[in-house]
Amino acid sequence: MNVRPQIAESGRSKALSVSLNQDNSCFAVGVDSGFYIYHSNPCTRQEAKNLEAGIGIVEMLGRSNFLALVGGGRAPKFPQNKVVIWNDVKAITAFSLEFRSEIKAVRISRSRIIAVLLNSVHIYAFSQPPEKLHVFETYDNPLGLCALSAKTLAFPGRKAGYLQLFDLTSGNVTIIPAHTTPLAAINISPNGDLIATASERGTLIRVYSTATSSMVAELRRGLDHATIFSLAISPSSRRLAVTSDKFTIHIFDLPSLSPSAIPIATVSSENGSGVGISGAYGDNRKWGFLSKIPLLPKYFSSEWSFAHATFDGGGRGCLGWTDEDTVVLISAGEEEQAKWEKFVLVDGEISGSLELHREGWRRYLDTE
């Protein structure tokens, strides 16, 4: 990629979108005059592409020269109902896909292109010309929720709170009644074994095995309503990071999925009634302080995060683990809000347990 050209000052005022690549080593930012590519840790600019018009969505294919672009901003470079597969070495459009309505999100791999619309998900083969393979109807999906691993695609079902898992190899579809209110966030683990979900209520995060579709963990972010911004499962599937409009990042322990440790789970309603989870977790598992009192609603015995910290970014963005103990949070928004923040799990000097510390931050639009 060309690392030298700089985008004009007018394109630096706002990050229209941010997204991490598949291994979280880089992130892409769409702005009113093109896009930026950055290294994730440390935060350094790798490329600035001046297209003299706005890019609303940028999705990277690893560290390859191909990206998926959708127009956006004050003067879009491309129509907002078109996905452009961009060859960055040649600075040309390789091919494009056009739809009847606005594109909410795009996911790409070396074999698939996924276009997410308000009420449907379209799957194409990554070929020239691209071949349409499948179309699925969904519940209203204004956030463009969609998660992709090597073998599994996850997206909202046709009912509020339902999740669809599509096996890219076999073509099998699994429906999971994950929540009783519409989904607000989903994330699939790097190795594809777990998927985490949160609803608009924002109090509970549920984690499912992609192999069995069974719930393996139910985690409580808090007691009051919150808007979940992002979920991120760590590289080894041991931990989950969660951000919300409370401007707090929470870290949870996740259970082992070894055959001897598959949890027994019964879905409870998000107001706190139901039966809990049993299974094998790490040493950081933390329960509500009233968990040992019998006959209280499950509301008081949920598993809570073992570490947390506050963040300063503008809110919605992307969240990812660069290693098992390091999380990066990239917020979109105006230049003052568009921040890169790095959090690290460390041994507490007094408590002796793991604590989450903010190790660094910067306004990445100012980064040269």
Which of 88, 107, 136 terminates a domain? The answer is: 136
159 and 181 in a single domain? The answer is: yes
130 and 144 in a single domain? The answer is: no
pLDDT, tens only, 229-274: 999 999 999 999 999 999 999 999 999 875 433 443 334 445 443 3
What DSSP designation does 224 have? S
SS3 call for 304: strand
CA geometry: angle 209, 210, 214, nearest 5 deg: 40
pLDDT at 116: 98
310 and 180 in a single domain? The answer is: yes
95 and 232 in a single domain? The answer is: no
Percent helix, percent strand, percent coil in the chain, to nearest 5: 5, 50, 50
Q: What is the Cα–Cα distance from 299 to 220, expressed in whole angstroms?
A: 9
194 and 299 in a single domain? The answer is: yes
Query: Given pLDDT bands bounded at 50, 70 and 90, which one contains residue 4?
Result: very low
**Which of 125, 17, 18, 110 lies closest to 64, judged by CA?**
110
Residue 115 within a domain: yes
- List, in sequence order, every residue forming a beta bridge with 115; answer none if it has no partner: 106, 122
Q: Are 281 and 253 in contact (CB under 8 A)?
A: yes
> Can you give the residue range of the structural domain that contains 104?
14-136
pLDDT at 163: 98
pLDDT at 284: 57
More confident: 116 or 351: 116
Q: Are 354 and 348 in contact (CB under 8 A)?
A: yes
Question: Looking up tokens 């494009």, which residue turns up?
Answer: 96
Which of 136, 154, 173 terminates a domain? The answer is: 136
Host H or E run for residue 183: strand 183-188
Residue 141 pLDDT > 80: yes
52 and 192 in a single domain? The answer is: no
Q: Are 199 and 234 in contact (CB under 8 A)?
A: no
pTM: 0.86
> How many folded domains does the chain comprise?
2
Residue 366 within a domain: no
48 and 92 in a single domain? The answer is: yes
Question: Looking up tokens 């890219």, which residue turns up?
Answer: 168
pLDDT, tens only, 275-292: 333 344 455 555 444 444
Question: Looking up tokens 């449907």, which residue turns up?
Answer: 120
Mean pLDDT of the chain: 87
pLDDT at 348: 81
Q: What are the DSSP calls for 309-367, one per residue?
A: EE--S-S-EEEEEEETTEEEEEE-EETTT-EEEEEEEEE-TTT-SEEEEEEEEEEGGG-
- The domain that contains 226 carries what CATH number? 2.130.10.10
Q: How many CA atoms lie within 13 A of 250 on its CB side?
A: 27
